[in-house]
Amino acid sequence: MSILIKPIITEKATGDSELNNRYYFVVNNKANKIEIKDAVEAAYGVSVEKVRTINVRPNRKTRFTKSGMITGKTKAYKKALVQVAEGETIDLYSNL
């Protein structure tokens, strides 16, 4: 079971990482905060101070077509906000 799925690289997440040493990750839905902390420390070699998690609900989407209305939804996922120690950084762009 892989805990860390992918980092979230958005304008808000990049600004938060530069100002507050806080990084955003999409994680496994069954992972808890202790497992997320251990996975980030093992993968990136930093010391994690705090982990906050958010369960993001699926967005419902509706499309109107000739044959009627088509409904669908996006997948639900879990997002983790990881606060690393002062002076340490995670290089998310090294594997691209």
Q: Is residue 90 part of a domain?
A: no
Q: Is 91 part of a structural domain of the chain?
A: no
Residue type, 33: K
User: What was the pLDDT predicted at 47?
Assistant: 96
Examine residue 23 and state whether it is found in any structural domain, yes or no: yes
Is 66 a domain residue?
yes
Residue 5 and residue 2: Cα distance in Å, rounded? 7
pLDDT attached to residue 92: 83
**Statement: residue 96 has pLDDT above 80:** no
Report yes or no on 69 lying in a domain. Answer: yes
Longest dimension (CA), the chain: 58
Task: Output the pLDDT for position 94.
Answer: 74
Q: Is residue 92 part of a domain?
A: no
For residue 36, what is the domain's CATH number? Answer: 3.30.70.330
pTM to 2 decimal places: 0.85
Domain extent at residue 62: 4-84
* CA count, 13 A, side-chain hemisphere, 62: 3
Q: What is the pLDDT of residues 12-68, one digit of tens each?
A: 999 999 999 999 999 999 999 999 999 999 999 999 999 999 999 999 999 999 999
Report whether 86 contacts 46 (CB < 8 A).
Answer: no
| Total of domains in the chain | 1
Is residue 10 assigned to a domain? yes
pLDDT at 1: 64
